Amino acid sequence: MKLRVLTSVAAAAALAFSLSACQKKAEEANTAAAEANASAMEANTAAMEANAAAADAANSAAAAGNDAMGNAAPMGNAPTGNAGT
């Protein structure tokens, strides 16, 4: 009888150890995935900032070109003088 109890306790301990190891591996995998996502988000943010800077530069160049040619840059809905018609 004592041998059965000892065997059952040993089996339960082995199962608990195995489950603990599996949980640790899952947590490590989740951490790695979270770090990969953070790196990807940082790369996307840098790309978006670079695109915004390029767009600002292009808009500034276009505005400078319009000024050099004496053309006003479009500024939304300008009044046409035909109000009320």
- pLDDT tens across 35-59, in order? 999 999 999 999 999 999 999 888 8
Eight-state DSSP code of residue 71: P
| pLDDT tens, the chain, 85 aa long | 777 888 888 999 998 989 898 888 999 999 999 999 999 999 999 999 999 999 988 888 887 776 666 665 555 555 555 555 5
This prediction's pTM: 0.47
Question: DSSP letters of 2-48?
Answer: HHHHHHHHHHHHHHHHHHHHHHHHHHHHHHHHHHHHHHHHHHHHHHH
